Structure 1
Amino acid sequence: MDKICLASPHMSEEGFEMKYVEEAFKTNWIAPLGKNVDEFENEVAARIGVDSAVALNSGTSAIHLALKAAGVKHGDTVFCQSLTFSATVNPILYLNAVPVFIDSDYKSWNMNPDALEKAFEKYDPKAVIVVHLYGLSADLNRICEICRKHNVALIEDAAESLGTKYKGKYTGTFGDYGVFSFNGNKIITTSGGGMIVSKNRDMTAKIRFWSTQSRENERYYQHLEIGYNYRMSNVLAGIGRGQLQVLNQRIEKKRYIFEFYKNELNHLDNIELMPINDWNEPNCWLSCMLLKGRTRPLDIILELEKNNIESRHVWKPMHMQPIFSGYDYVGGNVSEELFENGVCLPSDTKMSDDDLRRVCNVIKGI
């Protein structure tokens, strides 16, 4: 049986990516910067409606520099959603700051605004990082309101949610900074890469400066600040420009996959698909389900593996990770229950209906 992947790179059938990559080769712009980088930034910014963007070598780099831009320093507290990938948290430690983890809610699978409000009763953070998990937007109205009330910077980890809308507006554009990832498994990819977006042009200019080794505008190399080698390659940015042209198609297919699973599986008593709220227009990057019966996620994952089908547990919450066990956590047990009962289903945009039926038949058989 052919392998069915969870989510793999999907280059355009039209070959849009090669046009920009070949242009980089023909013009000898195989350097870290060039026209593709500039245009990719402009095209993403125009697509989601922000003033400026900086293309970087990873989403992790983008979170790091967003935290730095928010003024996070040694010893500062940063509130961070617990149900996420470790890349959301690691940059907090890069800056020797202190994470405090916030629980999720069942309504959105993302940061619980009530738990966030409760955390403000205990701490005075420098920033808040909210995640739009699996392409589902968090409850942004409440979270933004809470951050404004406490005058705290909001960073949106939209690594998984490019193209997702909350009440008609794109995720990544609500906070002070939005972060995207173009890793190989994301809805569009540059192989490896990320981007930070903001309405604050002055600060994105500063981020661009930091990301190119903080080189001062002098004829010789002069540095007054610590810098980072974080910029995106001109070749990879060319892939991104081509991928951006098929983003709508990828979102459409991801939503089709989710609806297929919903129609085939949601009627089963012990399965519940991830929530889609009235205010949410998700990109459905990964379609996920919760198990409510005796069947456990590992049962599903192992049986799918026997049929050469890739699936995955829902993210293990950060407050349950050994490396982060010494940091505080605010909330209940929602994120733990989502992890203990959740399965990420194959959501590869190259899947056929036969592939989708194959996945569903294995699950129904269990």
Structure 2
Amino acid sequence: MKTQTQSPYRILLSPPHMSGRERKYVDEVFATNFVAPAGPILSRFEQMFCERTGFSHAVAVSSGTAALHLALRCAGVERGDRVWAPTFTFIASIAPIIYQGATPVLFDCDAHSWNIDLGLVEEELKKAAQRNELPKAIIAVDLYGMPCDLEHLKAIAASYEVAVIADSAEAIGSRREGKHAGFGADCAAFSFNGNKLITTGGGGLLASEDEKLVEYARFLSQQARAPVLHYEHEEIGYNYRMSSINAAVGCGQLEVLEERVTRRREIFENYRKSLGSLPGIRFPDEPAGARANRWLSVLTTNGRPDLAKFILSLNELGIEARRLWKPMHLQGALKGVNVIGGSVAERLFETGLCLPSGTDMTKADEEFVATAVKKIVSEIA
């Protein structure tokens, strides 16, 4: 039984939540002995993903990072090319650019959606065209499950013939204008890491309306092995295919996708109702037409109370809380990278945090977290 002073167990940020439906698919994998990255369950997972999201084609891979790396290969990104991406994101959005020997150019986010600032992108595309320094691709991240305005971005990029890649790793189940997050980009990368809204235990997926693009990504993900009777390789590929066991878990998770989205949104709204009127506390709104999955319940404090003390106090009570993403242009691994703007992202890092959002949270857990936040705000504001 919880007290108002400390939780008897740690309330985690976003732990895996098994539905029980995963077992039948896993049992099928063992019964058929298709445990390698091949077989009917893997194809079924890809098909189920497409049925639930509206994409026509998909290839399941070992991680969201692998999916994004394949997306860049499919876009023809090579050494010396430029790739534009947001600075306010996780490093997995940027690392594949480096893998390809390309140069990242980072952009600030807009203060409303926290996604890449499309006004800055449009302005810089005009300048880059004049300098003959256009990017090969632009990566748009659906941050914390908030779907980017891909229709707008595609319209901006189309006249310059720049590829648009959606990093929808955090946005499974999110929609904008009725279309699933990532739909409309040249291709979209998804993650099923253990902390995501649904999980395969570790894995990712690349989806697109372009069948040839997905088939090329599938080819690359299997060591680029030619379909002949011996091992023939005309180009370098990767060992990126998802295992059937992971895919089996994913099939069961996809069956409850909409339930998980509904619950995450409910947790977010409950936090907003309970905490939104506290001094300095602000929860991000959804842009018109967007339905975010609210992967994590995030808020900003406007500098009150002190963020470090806030997070430490929550953790002492058994509540996992973390700061928002540290902007990529502030990371030592990307020292000296070109950044357009950056002040909005820096301010969000200085003032924002994530609260526990797992779909297996109880109402008592939610109330405990909310009560703790109120207490801390009153004590250290």
TM-score bracket for this pair, using the shorter chain length: over 0.9
From 2, 14, 22, the counterpart of 1:7:
14
Counterpart CA distance in 2 for 1:294 and 1:24 is 52
Give 4+ residue runs of structure 1 displaced > 6 Å after superposition.
none
Counterpart CA distance in 2 for 1:337 and 1:280 is 24
Matches of residues 1-366 of structure 1 in structure 2 within 5 Å? 1-12=8-19, 15-120=20-125, 121-122=127-128, 123-366=133-376
**Residue identity opposite 1:303 in structure 2:** S
Counterpart CA distance in 2 for 1:139 and 1:211 is 29
RMSD: 1.0
Q: Is the 8 A contact 1:183 1:193 kept in 2?
A: yes
Q: Is the 8 A contact 2:107 2:342 kept in 1?
A: no
Counterpart CA distance in 1 for 2:109 and 2:335 is 18
TM-superposed deviation, 1:174: 1.6
Counterpart CA distance in 1 for 2:368 and 2:304 is 22
Counterpart CA distance in 1 for 2:160 and 2:335 is 27
Q: Does the residue aligned with 1:273 lie in a helix, a strand or coil?
A: coil
**Residue identity opposite 2:28 in structure 1:** E
TM-superposed deviation, 1:141: 2.9
Counterpart CA distance in 1 for 2:57 and 2:358 is 30
- Bigger Cα displacement from structure 2, 289-298 vs 203-212: 289-298
**Residue identity opposite 1:250 in structure 2:** R
> TM-score, normalization: structure 1?
0.98
**Residue identity opposite 1:11 in structure 2:** M
1:318-357, Cα deviation, whole Å (9 max, x unpaired): 0111111211001241111111110011101111111111
TM-superposed deviation, 1:293: 4.2
Number of residue pairs aligned between Structure 1 and Structure 2: 364
Q: Does the residue aligned with 2:151 lie in a helix, a strand or coil?
A: helix
TM-superposed deviation, 1:297: 2.0
TM-superposed deviation, 1:36: 1.0
TM-superposed deviation, 1:277: 2.0
2:379 matched residue in structure 1? none
Q: Does the residue aligned with 2:171 lie in a helix, a strand or coil?
A: coil
- Bigger Cα displacement from structure 2, 55-64 vs 330-339: 330-339
**Residue identity opposite 2:56 in structure 1:** D
Q: Is the 8 A contact 2:303 2:350 kept in 1?
A: no
- Bigger Cα displacement from structure 2, 134-143 vs 82-91: 134-143
**Residue identity opposite 2:86 in structure 1:** Q
Q: Does the residue aligned with 1:343 lie in a helix, a strand or coil?
A: strand
Structure 1 pair 41–294 and aligned structure 2 pair: CA distance change class (3 A): same
Counterpart CA distance in 2 for 1:279 and 1:355 is 31
TM-superposed deviation, 1:140: 2.6
**Residue identity opposite 2:141 in structure 1:** V
1:161-193, Cα deviation, whole Å (9 max, x unpaired): 011011111111120010100000001000000
Q: Does the residue aligned with 1:309 lie in a helix, a strand or coil?
A: coil
**Residue identity opposite 1:182 in structure 2:** F
TM-superposed deviation, 1:149: 2.1
Q: Is the 8 A contact 1:158 1:179 kept in 2?
A: yes
TM-superposed deviation, 1:34: 1.0
1:185-235, Cα deviation, whole Å (9 max, x unpaired): 001000000000011101111110110011111111111110100000011
Q: Is the 8 A contact 2:107 2:117 kept in 1?
A: yes
Q: Is the 8 A contact 1:108 1:139 kept in 2?
A: no
